[in-house]
């Protein structure tokens, strides 16, 4: 079903009566618009109903005054094959995350595969296979960008060229394999970047057997594109070292659910004080030893908003537009030409917050009433979030 759905076309879709439209763009997080028009999975117009061509729609959705935001992007997951994780022996974790508003996931390495090959031929074969498999299979409609090899000693520039030529665009977490020295990682990261492959580095204490401590000096020397789980996965570097990384590096600051929450707050506040909030992106770092978190990105948004005291509409940008721009994705922002991936939310029933944004600022997670991917409705009222006060309807 997921394979068939991936190739379906939405036709013309109109979303009307939007109460709050979050853009995903830090420079303008809230849009003055109540209507979105979609054609075959792409946004064609955003504005007031009177200014949009809504005629001839095959699907009309009445948002009923709820909030519409770009679909959430989980910047750090560890898939294996299909919608199954051997890490927790669990089926359906990706579909379950879609019920948490996640419409795109980015692999930081298929590291939990039992017997994961660590020889160079094997790791390249696994990366290419994972990339192909998830390109063809979208559980719950979720776009999983997979095929992220964990680099090992002995790799040459030709290996990175081979991976890039085969369609691999990501490296798994640098440091989960045998390459742990800063100078060694720097050379391989540079080869990857030269051939269009984006890199993420493990930050903090070891997470799985075979990984090790990656300290601030290694992170700075390696100069990967993304400082992966800057708040540790699970064990964080000292808070002062994390703040130093925010200041001395210009790379992406990735904050994850399965890390140190105190340091997560410190990293987010540091980015705000350094006036570089555009560098902050969010992930779950699951599946992991602590499990699968279908609501992990929503929980990160509410935590950073409430405890780091960052306006909720800005934190939603960390989970959408920031990631889309850093990862060069055609989603995450509400503007014409972008993929029509949306999460429809409202304040949870009986929250103390009077509005959705206020409820998030108070630390509650919103209720999800609908998720759309490529203009197609993938679920109605979420089975995982608290019930939303109001939900959209397909007219």
Contact at 8 Å (CB) between 40 and 10? yes
Contact at 8 Å (CB) between 208 and 111? yes
pLDDT tens digits for 77-107? Answer: 999 999 999 999 999 999 999 999 999 999 9
For residue 46 the two structure tokens come to: 């955003």
Query: How confident is the model at residue 212, as a pLDDT?
Result: 77
Q: Give the span between the Cα atoms of 12 and 4, in whole angstroms.
A: 19
- Reply yes or no on whether the pLDDT at 4 is more than 50: no
- Reply yes or no on whether the pLDDT at 60 is more than 90: yes
pTM value? 0.97
For residue 333 the two structure tokens come to: 């922002």
Query: How confident is the model at residue 278, as a pLDDT?
Result: 98
CB atoms within 10 A of CB 115: 6
Least confident stretch, 18-22, 233-237, 269-273, 308-312: 233-237
Calculate mean pLDDT across residues 55-81.
98
Is the peptide bond preceding residue 234 cis, with omega within 30 degrees of 0? yes
Contact at 8 Å (CB) between 231 and 264? yes
- Reply yes or no on whether the pLDDT at 3 is more than 70: no
- The order of strands in the sheet holding 102-107 is 72-77, 102-107, 143-145
Q: Where are the beta strands (DSSP E) in the chain?
A: 12-16, 20-22, 30-31, 35-39, 42-47, 59-62, 67-70, 72-77, 84-85, 90-91, 102-107, 143-145, 200-201, 226-227, 252-256, 280-283, 342-346, 367-373, 376-379, 393-394
DSSP, collapsed to helix, strand or coil, labels residue 362 as: coil
Query: How confident is the model at residue 324, as a pLDDT?
Result: 98
pLDDT tens digits for 361-395? Answer: 999 999 999 999 999 999 999 999 999 999 999 99
CB burial readout 2-25, b (16+ within 10 A) else e: beeebeeebebbbbbbbebbbbbb
- R_g of the chain computed on alpha carbons: 20
Least confident stretch, 6-20, 146-160, 222-236: 6-20
At residue 104, φ and ψ (nearest 5 deg) are: -140, 140
pLDDT tens digits for 249-268? Answer: 999 999 999 999 999 999 99
Query: How confident is the model at residue 5, as a pLDDT?
Result: 46
- Reply yes or no on whether the pLDDT at 134 is more than 60: yes
Distance in Å from the first CA to the final CA of the chain: 24
Query: How confident is the model at residue 210, as a pLDDT?
Result: 65
Least confident stretch, 209-213, 272-276, 307-311: 209-213
The pairing of beta strand 252-256 with beta strand 226-227 = parallel
Contact at 8 Å (CB) between 174 and 197? no
Q: Where are the beta strands (DSSP E) in 251-337?
A: 252-256, 280-283
Query: For residue 65, how many C-alpha atoms fall within 13 Å in the half-sphere facing its CB?
Result: 6
Query: How confident is the model at residue 6, as a pLDDT?
Result: 52
pLDDT tens digits for 111-124? Answer: 999 999 999 999 99
Q: Give the span between the Cα atoms of 394 and 239, in whole angstroms.
A: 48
CA of residue 246 relative to chain centroid, distance: 20
Contact at 8 Å (CB) between 171 and 192? yes
Q: Give the span between the Cα atoms of 129 and 34, in whole angstroms.
A: 42
Contact at 8 Å (CB) between 183 and 221? yes
pLDDT tens digits for 312-355? Answer: 999 999 999 999 999 999 999 999 999 999 999 999 999 999 99
Query: How confident is the model at residue 207, as a pLDDT?
Result: 76
Query: For residue 107, how many C-alpha atoms fall within 13 Å in the half-sphere facing its CB?
Result: 32
Calculate mean pLDDT across residues 300-305.
98
Separation in Å, CA 165 to CA 71, 128, 196 = 30, 10, 10
Query: How confident is the model at residue 7, as a pLDDT?
Result: 66
Query: How confident is the model at residue 206, as a pLDDT?
Result: 86
The whole-chain average pLDDT of the chain stands at: 96
265 secondary structure, DSSP code:
H
């Amino acid at each position: 079903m997921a394979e068939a759905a991936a190739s379906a076309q939405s036709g013309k879709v109109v979303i009307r009566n939007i109460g709050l439209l979050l853009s995903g763009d830090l420079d303008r997080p809230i849009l003055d618009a109540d209507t979105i028009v979609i054609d075959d999975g792409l946004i064609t117009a955003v504005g007031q109903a009177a200014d949009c061509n809504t005629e001839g729609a095959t699907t009309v959705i009445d948002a009923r005054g709820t909030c519409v935001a770009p679909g959430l992007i989980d910047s750090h997951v560890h898939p294996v094959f299909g919608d199954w994780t051997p890490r927790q022996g669990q089926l359906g974790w990706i579909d379950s995350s879609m019920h948490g508003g996640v419409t795109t996931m980015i692999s930081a390495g298929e590291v939990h595969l039992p017997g994961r090959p660590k020889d160079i031929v094997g790791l390249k074969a696994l990366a290419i296979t994972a990339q192909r498999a998830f390109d063809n299979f979208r559980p719950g409609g979720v776009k999983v960008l997979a095929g992220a090899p964990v680099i090992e000693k002995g790799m040459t520039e030709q290996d990175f060229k081979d991976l890039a030529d085969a369609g691999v665009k990501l490296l798994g977490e640098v440091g989960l394999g045998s390459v742990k020295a800063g100078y060694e990682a720097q050379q391989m990261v540079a080869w990857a970047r030269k051939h269009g492959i984006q890199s993420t580095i493990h930050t903090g204490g070891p997470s799985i057997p075979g990984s090790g401590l990656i300290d601030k000096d290694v992170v700075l020397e390696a100069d990967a594109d993304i400082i992966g789980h800057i708040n540790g996965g699970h064990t964080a570097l000292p808070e002062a070292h994390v703040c130093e990384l925010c200041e001395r590096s210009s790379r992406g600051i990735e904050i994850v659910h399965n890390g140190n929450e105190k340091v997560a707050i410190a990293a987010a506040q540091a980015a705000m004080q350094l006036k570089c909030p555009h560098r902050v992106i969010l992930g779950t770092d699951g599946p992991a030893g602590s499990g699968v978190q279908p609501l992990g990105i929503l929980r990160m948004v509410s935590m950073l908003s409430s405890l780091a005291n960052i306006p909720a509409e800005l934190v939603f940008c960390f989970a959408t537009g920031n990631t889309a721009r850093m990862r060069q994705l055609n989603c995450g922002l509400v503007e014409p030409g972008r993929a029509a991936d949306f999460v429809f939310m409202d304040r949870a029933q009986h929250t103390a917050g009077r509005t959705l944004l206020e409820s998030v600022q108070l630390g509650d997670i919103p209720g999800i009433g609908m998720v759309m991917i490529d203009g197609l409705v993938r679920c109605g009222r979420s089975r995982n979030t608290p019930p939303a006060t109001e939900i959209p309807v397909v007219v």
